[in-house]
Amino acid sequence: MLCVTHLSRHYGQLKAVQDVSLSVPAGSFVGVIGRSGAGKSTLLRMINRLENPSGGGISHQGQDVSRLQGLALRQWRRDCAMVFQQFNLIGRLDVLTNVLMGRLTAVPNWRALLQMWSDDDKSRALLTLERFDMAQFAAKRCDQLSGGQQQRVAICRALVQEPKIILADEPIASLDPRNTKAVMDALRSINREHGITVICNLRSLDVARDYCDRLVGLAAGEVVFDGSPETLTDSLVTRLYGMEARHVADEPWAKAADVSKVELAFS
């Protein structure tokens, strides 16, 4: 169980996240939804401890995550892997090496520095790439891949960390519909087959409803909805996005990530 209790993050007078409390059971697939600036990214960055909370706490299996330092913090970031919108890959390095970077917390620093990866680490990375149909690109530079391919490499890198939680911060925001489906299918596969908790920030309401078991809606840094996709009403959508539900579906970013339309288009 991951527990977030009265969590807040302030930047001067700006309240990016305000008094957020959540309990996320292991094995959940949670979508965090809301308009840009609602506090979604800040929330995930605090859970991973890339940002320090201004108030409140985070705990996982009885451990106070918000107070971790040094080696304990490094181990938490291994257990709680992050997938970023902009991939955060090293473009000049090949795909396999980028995936192996996910093993940094599991090997001595000198081995990582010299890139002396064990056969077991290489095998683990290649099997993960193969699972997501990326093994044929193992020797290719990452900056020669498409956006969707790079995001799948980033997911593979997160998975070889052997995490208990994956935090995905708008992983499909810059992708076309076909790659959107590939990336979201990959995250769902990780969740269902490995039992890894996935918390995913999403702009598209359609994608969130199709893939997530639970939705958490943020508006101005506060939780205004927490429940199953079926219970999200039009009035709550209006509060979350500042427009009527039918207008949300008409937005360009919503259309680009409409997985139901993608499946029809490629069937």
211 or 86, which is more confident: 211
pLDDT band at 263 (very low <50, low <70, confident <90, very high): very low
pLDDT band at 174 (very low <50, low <70, confident <90, very high): confident
Residues 134-159 pLDDT 10s: 999 999 999 999 988 999 999 999 99
pLDDT at 247: 52
Q: What is the domain-level CATH number for residue 13?
A: 3.40.50.300
Task: Check: CB of residue 79 under 8 Å from CB of residue 26.
Answer: no
Residues 6-34 pLDDT 10s: 999 999 989 999 999 999 999 999 999 99
Average pLDDT (120-140) is 92
Long-range contacts of 144-150 (CB under 8 A, 24+ apart): 145/95, 146/179, 147/87, 147/174, 147/175, 147/176, 147/179, 148/175, 148/176, 148/178, 148/179, 148/180, 148/182, 148/183, 149/179, 150/87, 150/89
Q: Report the share of the chain in percent with pLDDT over 70.
A: 87
pLDDT at 113: 63
pLDDT at 239: 84
Number of H helices, E strands in the chain: 12, 10
Is the pLDDT reported for residue 243 higher than 70?
no
Number of domains in the chain: 1
Average pLDDT (251-257) is 46
The parent domain of residue 191 ranges over 2-266
User: Which tokens hold the place of 58?
Assistant: 């985070």
pLDDT at 112: 61
pLDDT at 262: 32
Tokens 């990530």 sit at which residue?
257
Strand 165-169 relative to strand 197-202: parallel, antiparallel, unpaired?
parallel
d(CA 84, CA 172) in angstroms, rounded, equals 10
Average pLDDT (165-186) is 91
Mean pLDDT, rounded, of the chain: 87
Average pLDDT (248-266) is 41
pLDDT at 173: 87
- Least confident window among 100-104, 160-164, 187-191, 212-216: 100-104
Is the pLDDT reported for residue 109 higher than 70?
no
Q: Report the share of the chain in percent with pLDDT over 90.
A: 64
Maximum average pLDDT range among 3-7, 60-64, 147-151:
3-7
Point out which residues pair with 8 in neighbouring strands.
55
How many of the other CB atoms lie within 10 Å of CB of 63?
14
User: Which tokens hold the place of 228?
Assistant: 């199953």
pTM more than 0.95: no
